[in-house]
A = this chain, B = another copy of it.
Amino acid sequence: MRLSRTFLPILKETPKEAEIVSHRLMLRAGLIRQEAAGIYAWLPFGLRVLRKIEQIVREEQNRAGAQELLMPTIQPADLWRESGRYDAYGKEMLRIADRHEREMLYGPTNEEMITDIFRASVRSYKDLPMNLYHIQWKFRDEVRPRFGIMRGREFLMKDAYSFDLDKEGARHAYNRMFVAYLRTFARMGLQAIPMRADTGPIGGDMSHEFIILASTGESEVFCDKAILDLPIPGEDTDFDSDLTPVIDAWTTPYAATDEMHDASAYEAVAEDARMSARGIEVGHIFYFGTKYSEPMGAKVAGPDGVEVPVHMGSYGVGVSRLLGAIIEAHHDEAGIKWPASVAPFHVGLINLKPGDAESDAACADLERQLTAAGIEVLVDDVDTRAGAKFATMDLIGLPWQLIVGPRGLKEGVVEIKNRASGERSTVSPQEAVTRLVGELAS
């Protein structure tokens, strides 16, 4: 991809309205643009990152045995009357009347609709366990949207819903998602800590939030540092096996948000292992039993032929919010430092002198070789001075920079820079390709 042909509106000045670093950097690096309070357009680079995050979430949901479908954004109010939440939900729900004055709403979540889809076609315990998820835009009419896409009104969420015959089955479904979440966030370069949580308006009696640590986090969290060293479950995890040992390992060290904080339990943690910090919620999982299946009549026949309401759980990931969370965790003064797994491109190939035949040829050749190896390359072919090029490349935060200019080429070398570490090395073009392929191709 050529920078000269890319819609990447970089802002020179720091936008005043942005209170936190991720919001500032998302605006400055041309990732998003605000269209109304809490409502954003995703510009090409922002969308590329969003899609990569979405794809990681999808792959880990599928790996854990969940099936993807897609529910609409607009829902009929009547469904929510069945669960009793239409009146209970309050002003965060965006209520709409259509041309025939029928009451509708823009879905803030989908427990009712998925329960309706389930009850319409599933009759027997033999079809269980089942976990259905979608990745869809939601709307919550926050009274005061802020922090850019971190607390927006229209946001992209993955929400999964599990259906099981009994509590034991539901517990296993819960554990699967717990493990899937550990893997999901780790793949994006985030250290997410599961914390016992309040269940809030979703209801139910078992719930964990997944929180990443960031100084701009909205909630205070307390934990035992031991949790930071636990290994992430591998790709080869058997999700049909008993996952209790993994869950036990991750829920044994103390970890709680301030809402659930137990000062005496925290004080039982060795003093040098205690950590209190600010955190950002990026995922939330719930078991809520028959809260929706009972009133909505989502029942299956058990092995004995008797119909019982299914046990359900729901499992959310804030897909669009994750962009902000990743930036909060990966940035410096100069800009973003994307982890390779979610970067809009892997390599920024800086042509220091576009128009110089030798530089152009060397860049074209490097681009071709890297692209052939499956590496995504953004070529800065814009005719500006080197300082501006470096500043832009640092700001947009591609993991690797490959710098090509006439002076270096005369000596047969180019420069590689790692954005995260700042480390630079001067190598031959061929060596540069070998190095980058080694680092990036997977």
Further 9 A-B residue pairs, CB within 8 A, beyond A41-B113, A47-B69: A9-B121, A36-B104, A41-B72, A41-B117, A42-B69, A47-B68, A72-B137, A94-B98, A96-B96
- Which residues of B have CB within 8 Å of A153? 74, 98
A290 within 8 Å of B (CB atoms): no
Contact call B76/A35, Cβ cutoff below 8 A: yes
Determine how close the nearest CB of chain B comes to the CB of A159; give it in whole angstroms: 13
- Which residues of B have CB within 8 Å of A102? 36
Alpha-carbon distance between A405 and B271 when the two chains are bound, in angstroms: 66
- Which residues of B have CB within 8 Å of A6? 67
Determine how close the nearest CB of chain B comes to the CB of A95; give it in whole angstroms: 8
Determine how close the nearest CB of chain B comes to the CB of A436; give it in whole angstroms: 24
A-B contacts, 14 of them at CB < 8 A, read A7-B67, A7-B132, A35-B72, A35-B76, A36-B76, A44-B68, A44-B69, A47-B69, A74-B106, A91-B99, A92-B99, A98-B141, A98-B153, A99-B141
- Which residues of B have CB within 8 Å of A139? 74
Interface residues of A, Cβ cutoff 8 Å to B = 5-7, 9, 33, 35-36, 39-44, 46-47, 50, 65, 67-76, 79, 91-92, 94, 96, 98-99, 102, 104, 106, 113, 116-117, 120-122, 130, 132, 137, 139, 141, 143, 153-154
Contact call A41/B71, Cβ cutoff below 8 A: yes
Contact of A99 among B68, B117, B143 (CB under 8 A): B143
- Which residues of B have CB within 8 Å of A130? 7
- Which residues of B have CB within 8 Å of A7? 67, 69, 130, 132
- Dominant SS at the A interface? mixed
- Which residues of B have CB within 8 Å of A132? 7
Question: Given A6-B67, A69-B43, A130-B7, does the pair A74, B120 have CB atoms closer than 8 Å?
Answer: no
Contact of A154 among B41, B74, B121 (CB under 8 A): B74
Determine how close the nearest CB of chain B comes to the CB of A46; give it in whole angstroms: 8
- Which residues of B have CB within 8 Å of A122? 9
Determine how close the nearest CB of chain B comes to the CB of A77; give it in whole angstroms: 10
- Which residues of B have CB within 8 Å of A41? 69-72, 113, 117
Determine how close the nearest CB of chain B comes to the CB of A153; give it in whole angstroms: 8
Count chain B CB atoms within 10 A of each CB in A9, A35, A79, A113 and give the residue with the most.
A35
Determine how close the nearest CB of chain B comes to the CB of A396; give it in whole angstroms: 15
Contact call A72/B154, Cβ cutoff below 8 A: yes
- Which residues of B have CB within 8 Å of A94? 74, 96, 98
Q: Chain B: which residue is nearest A130 at the CB level?
A: B7
- Which residues of B have CB within 8 Å of A76? 35-36, 39
Alpha-carbon distance between A70 and B96 when the two chains are bound, in angstroms: 23
Contact call B35/A116, Cβ cutoff below 8 A: yes
Contact call A50/B72, Cβ cutoff below 8 A: no
Determine how close the nearest CB of chain B comes to the CB of A79; give it in whole angstroms: 8
- Which residues of B have CB within 8 Å of A74? 36, 39, 94, 106, 139, 153-154
Alpha-carbon distance between A287 and B74 when the two chains are bound, in angstroms: 32
- Which residues of B have CB within 8 Å of A73? 73, 137, 154
CB-CB nearest 5 A-B residue pairs: A9-B121, A42-B70, A36-B76, A91-B99, A41-B71
Contact call B44/A67, Cβ cutoff below 8 A: yes
Alpha-carbon distance between A162 and B162 when the two chains are bound, in angstroms: 44
- Which residues of B have CB within 8 Å of A36? 72, 74-76, 102, 104
Alpha-carbon distance between A81 and B132 when the two chains are bound, in angstroms: 41
Contact call B141/A71, Cβ cutoff below 8 A: no
Alpha-carbon distance between A68 and B9 when the two chains are bound, in angstroms: 14
Contact call B69/A35, Cβ cutoff below 8 A: no
Q: Chain B: which residue is nearest A41 at the CB level?
A: B71
Contact call B91/A40, Cβ cutoff below 8 A: no
- Which residues of B have CB within 8 Å of A98? 94, 141, 153
- Which residues of B have CB within 8 Å of A91? 99
